[in-house]
Every structure is written in C-alpha cells, then in structure tokens.
Amino acid sequence: MNAIAAPVAEDVLRRYDVSGPRYTSYPTADRFVEAFGADDYALALKQRRSGAAAMALPLSLYVHIPFCESLCYYCACNKIITKHHDKGAVYLRYLSREIDLHTALIGQGQVISQLHLGGGSPTFLSDAELRELMGMLRRNFSFVPGGEYSIEIDPRTVNSARLDTIADLGFNRLSFGVQDFDLAVQKAVHRVQPAEQVFELMGAARSRGFDSVNVDLIYGLPQQTPESFSRTLNQVVELRPDRIALYAYAHLPERFKPQRRINTVELPTGGSKISMLSGSLATFMGAGYVYVGMDHFALPEDSLAIAKRQGRLHRNFQGYSTQPDCDLIALGVSSIGRIGATYSQNAKTLEEYYDYLDQGQFPVVRGLALTRDDLVRRAVIMALMCQGELYYESIDLSFLIDFRSYFAAELSALELLAEQGMVEVDEQRVLVTRQGWFFVRAVAMVFDKHLQTDKTRARFSKII
C-alpha cells in the first residue's frame, strides 16, 4: 500500500458518508448470541491448551476498568459513574478470581505480547491498586520484553507523579482522552479539561521515555464548528503526539442514555462534519502524519506507521496494532475476547459479572463460534483492512476454495467501487487505491455476508 499523497475532496467524503462496521472483528459483535456461554468459552480455552502450536503463540490481554468519576455526555462505552473509590478494591478481587479461572485451564506463564487497560477510566484506580493489578497479571502471565503495554489516560486524573508510577509498572504506551480543546464544546459534553493540563502531561510523558503517546479526538460534538475544531487541530499539531485517533461522533440517544443530555440543536450539521473531517485530513497530513487507516494517524517514525509501510498491520478489538494476530483474553465487565475460532463477551453489569464469579463460573454471557465461511470472510476483510490488498491465491491455498467462484457476487459488486477509483480489480488481486484507503470500510463491507442480509446500519458509526 503506497503512502497517501493528498486529502480527499469534500464531495467524495459526502458520497461515502454512510454507516458501517469498524471491523475490529468479523463477524462483528452485534452478531454474538446468548447461546454461546461460559461452557463454550471454557472449551475454547481447553482446546487452545491442547494445541501445541497455540501454546507457543503469544496472547494479548485486555482489562476493562469501568469506573469514571464524572459522566461525559458523548460516551458510548460501558462505564459506571461513581466517586466511591472503594469500588475499585472490590473489582480487583473479582478480576483476580477471573484470572484464576483462566490459569486453571491454560496454566500460568502464558506469554503476553500486548496489554491494554481500557474503560471507563483505568486511572480511576489508585497507584496502589494499579500496582496490585499489574502484580496479579505478572504473577500469572509472562510479559515479553518489547511488547506493547498501553493504558488509557483521563488527563483530569493524572499528574507527573502518577506517570512515574505508570512507567514503573511497565506501561510503554499512553492514550490521552482529549476529544476537543474548545471550552464551549467541553462544557456541552460535560468534560472540562484545560489544554495546558494536557500539554504539561505530554511533556512529562516525553521526559519519561514512553514509546508512544496517542491523543483521542472526536468531531461532530455539540457546539463544534469547522472553525473551532480547526483551532483544536492546530493545538494537537503543536502537541505533536505520536499517534492520533480521530472519531466521528455518532448521536444514538436511544441506545446510549448519556447522549440524551446533549442538546441536539447544538450538534453540527452533516456538512459541517464533512468540513471538519476534510480539515483534519489536510491538517494532520500537512503536518507530516501518516494516515494509517480509518481513524488513525501516526508520525512516520512511530511503530504503527512503520508497520503500515511494511505491510505488518493487524487489527483487534482495540483497533490497529503492530502485534501479530493472536488470541485475546479479555478480563472485566463487558470485555470482549477471542480464543481460536470463537469470540466471547462478559456480562455488562457489575452485579451479573460478580454473580458469575461468585459461582466459580466464567462471566461470559454471549459470543460466537465462527463457521468456515466466517473464517474465510474474516481473512478477506482483515487483508483489506490491514494491508489494503487481497491476493486470491492466498485465500485459495488457505481455505481450499476457488476465490473467484466463491466470491463471484462480491467481485461483481466491487465494479462500482472500481469505477469510482476506490479499488483496482484484476485476475490476481483486489487493490485498495490511495483514495480508497480512506474508505476501506466500504470495500470490506462488500464481503460482509451478515451485512448483505441486514441493511439496517443505524447501529454502526459512519465509515469516515
């Protein structure tokens, strides 16, 4: 995949202003079923342990910390708003039980190459509690040197001293939740944090030698305008994070109760959102950032940009990654994991999560065992999402099919995208073009069998 040379025209952005999956997995999480439960998950873990090859493969870990001190109105994450920090200590006790259930089946010392603490706000936990959590993980798993160990940071809950603790615990990557620096926008979404606070933390992070610092931004929030967001973009360029994640706000108050507090009159128009996106692409790429894919930008020397240049991008439930495709053990309330050809999700409420663990059971309440067709399509979609090109022969050899026959309807559907300059299709491969890389989700959607039979896409975010 060649480097993208220029931003995309606004009329093209408008043409692809549609909803679709993010493909952190295929099939997507909305396809999980309650028929897949704790026993199915336990069987998948046993099968992993019984496979000699699987035992040698590294694992990823995700730990969900659901607590936040205050409510951000835009948030669609699974979180619990509380100022009672004693809840953290109780939660850690149950995480310990969940870890014990895993090690009972797969053994201690499984190799970990990637860890992500998400939420909620992981920094809701005290320094002592973060030490306790990392101690539990290190006693039960073996963390390889040079792995990716990241934590999401709420800048309002962290200072320079806390960064020392985070660094001492072995985290080498940080993600700062910023969203927007404009005060009017911050007030409208109930998340006020001065830009000076973030700039100070960035300086402290750099002095401590973290490998990479990411900044999360959201466009389409109430009170935002193309002009106000342009000021935020310029501040972010001045901040110079290693990575930037730029997300489109999806206003779905019928699904996410906190969003009902947002005054819909204050939301920007669709045209304004397109202008914000266009301005973001121009600003970041003009400042030397590489468009990695979908919502992600990185400095050329960052490992994510290097992986993109070298064709080594991978994708998991946390987004793009430099780590090889591997199983993911997900710990904590509502977390989603992958073991072998299965996906699983934990209970979404603390009460249910605790109840399962009190009974000595995995807190898995839904999931999916992938069919052969799912596996074929997952390989196709991930090749497109990560490498931007798909060779038919590789799929033929891996799954013993004839690609052009198996996907005859999909290849026909790609003709329109080819006419619009998004892909090139020939006898050997599908290649996502430079312009098409901005709309790679639209290309992947062509191969999504579940989406083909369900045209209701309101539950998904916009693909750009």
Residues 6+ apart with CB under 8 A from 113: 58, 59, 60, 144, 147, 148, 323, 324, 326
Q: Looking at the structure, tell me whether residues 308 and 177 fall in a common domain.
A: yes
Q: Looking at the structure, tell me whether residues 4 and 57 fall in a common domain.
A: no
How many residues in the chain? 464
Report the pLDDT value the prediction gives residue 463, as an integer from 0 to 100.
53
* pTM of the entire predicted model: 0.91
Q: Does 232 map to a domain?
A: yes
Q: Which of 277, 297, 329 represents a domain boundary (last residue)?
A: 329
Phi and psi, residue 224, nearest 5°: -75, 145
Q: Encode 212-234 in three state secondary structure.
A: EEEEEEEECCCCCCHHHHHHHHH
* pLDDT mean for each 10 residues of the chain (464 residues): 52 76 89 96 91 67 95 91 94 98 94 94 95 97 93 93 96 95 97 94 94 96 97 97 93 90 93 91 95 91 92 85 86 96 96 98 97 96 92 96 97 94 95 89 93 61 56
Contact 34, 320 (CB under 8 A): no
Q: Does 245 map to a domain?
A: yes
The sign of the torsion formed by the CA atoms of 35, 39, 43, 49 equals: positive
Report the pLDDT value the prediction gives residue 4, as an integer from 0 to 100.
37
Q: Which residue segment(s) compose the domain that 4 sits in?
A: 1-9+372-464
Residue 42 vs residues 53, 333, 347: alpha-carbon distances, Å: 19, 17, 15
Residue 78 per-residue DSSP state: -
Residues 6+ apart with CB under 8 A from 255: 76, 459
Residue 134 per-residue DSSP state: H
Q: Is 324 helix (H, G, I), strand (E, B) or coil?
A: coil
**Pairing mode of beta strands 141-153, 173-179:** parallel
Phi and psi, residue 438, nearest 5°: -70, -20
Q: Is 107 helix (H, G, I), strand (E, B) or coil?
A: coil
Q: Give how many domains the chain has, as a whole number.
A: 2
| Sequence ranges of the binding site for S-adenosyl-L-methionine | 62, 74-76, 119, 152, 179, 191, 216, 250, 336
Burial 138-167 (b: 16+ CB within 10 A, else e): eebbebeeebbbbbbbbbbebeeebbebbb
Q: Does 159 map to a domain?
A: yes
**At 153, which helix (H) or strand (E)?**
strand 141-153
Residue 453: give its domain's CATH number: 1.10.10.920
Q: Does 359 map to a domain?
A: no
Residues 6+ apart with CB under 8 A from 112: 58, 59, 60, 61, 137, 141, 142, 143, 144, 147
Q: Does 76 map to a domain?
A: yes
**Pairing mode of beta strands 296-298, 243-248:** antiparallel
Report the pLDDT value the prediction gives residue 6, as an integer from 0 to 100.
43
Q: Looking at the structure, tell me whether residues 3 and 39 fall in a common domain.
A: no
Residue 41 per-residue DSSP state: H
Q: Does 234 map to a domain?
A: yes
Q: Does 340 map to a domain?
A: no
Residues 6+ apart with CB under 8 A from 357: 94, 97, 98, 101, 363
Q: Looking at the structure, tell me whether residues 124 and 247 fall in a common domain.
A: yes
**At 151, which helix (H) or strand (E)?**
strand 141-153
CA 300, 304, 310: angle at the middle one, nearest 5? 80
Q: Looking at the structure, tell me whether residues 29 and 154 fall in a common domain.
A: yes
Residue 324: give its domain's CATH number: 3.80.30.20
Report the pLDDT value the prediction gives residue 24, as an integer from 0 to 100.
85
The sign of the torsion formed by the CA atoms of 114, 119, 123, 129 equals: negative
Residue 175 vs residues 150, 164, 230, 307: alpha-carbon distances, Å: 7, 15, 21, 19
Report the pLDDT value the prediction gives residue 219, as an integer from 0 to 100.
95
Report the pLDDT value the prediction gives residue 454, as an integer from 0 to 100.
64
Burial 373-403 (b: 16+ CB within 10 A, else e): ebebbbbbbbbbbbbbebebeebeeeeebeb
Q: Which of 271, 302, 329 represents a domain boundary (last residue)?
A: 329
Q: Retrieve residue 236's tokens.
A: 């972010």
| Sequence ranges of the binding site | 62, 68, 72, 74-76, 119, 152, 179, 191, 216, 250, 336
Sole residue written with tokens 């309650």: 34
Q: Looking at the structure, tell me whether residues 288 and 388 fall in a common domain.
A: no
Q: Does 367 map to a domain?
A: no
| Sequence ranges of the binding site for [4Fe-4S] cluster | 68, 72, 75
Q: Give dist(CA 181, CA 193) in Å, integer.
A: 8
